[in-house]
Amino acid sequence: MQNQALSKTLSYVLRHKPEELGLHLDAQGWVSVTALLQALQARHPEVTLEQLHEVVATNDKKRFAFSEDEQLIRANQGHSLAVDLALEAVPPPEVLYHGTATRFLSSIRASGLQRGTRQYVHLSPDPETATAVGQRHGCPVVLTVHAGELHRAGAAFYIAENGVWLTLTVPPEFIGAEGLSAS
């Protein structure tokens, strides 16, 4: 199994469907590394602990983390499962960015940014990252989010281990009127 395929499998299992591999995440989203490795090896015997460590260390978006003693592993963000990442609420920068596809714009203007199946709306610290996120869905457009104002209005913001900002929802009045051209 290539590293990228292993990363995709980890995303799926650690964010959405652990039961697919017969696994169960604890309340904070952690699972035993030994149990995960055994479950992976039942289908892909060539996967090793070393490869797991390599994928966590070299992952382009730092999607996964080991516990300090390296006995547990979890996804840093992106969950649809109701896990409590135990992130501390922190004041966000005045402006954050959300990359999306142009076809979602009218709906977003009408109802704001909704988390959909995920636990949170995901926001990027810079327009470049947001462009890459938007590109996954089609023709990208980057929206500015008035995170400081939204925070002062009472919304909680969290920053995941990998720098992605998380909040429950962004009402339309906190989204900048202009979409930045994603070039």
The answer to whether 135 contacts ligand HQG (rule: CB under 6 A) is no
Report, in Å, the least distance between residue 76 CB and ligand HQG.
Answer: 9
Separation in Å, CA 93 to CA 89, 117, 120, 124: 13, 26, 17, 11
The answer to whether 146 contacts ligand HQG (rule: CB under 6 A) is no
> Contact letters (x/-) for ligand HQG, 97-116, by CB under 6 A?
---xx--x--xx--x-xx-x
The answer to whether 40 contacts ligand HQG (rule: CB under 6 A) is no
Q: Which of 142, 145, 141, 143 is nearest to 174 (CA)?
A: 145
**How much of the chain is in helix, strand and coil states, percent to nearest 5?**
35, 20, 40
Q: Write down the residue that tokens 């995170």 correspond to.
A: 147
Report, in Å, the least distance between residue 17 CB and ligand HQG.
Answer: 14
Give 66 or 104: the residue with its C-beta nearer to ligand HQG: 104
DSSP state of 11: H
The answer to whether 79 contacts ligand HQG (rule: CB under 6 A) is no
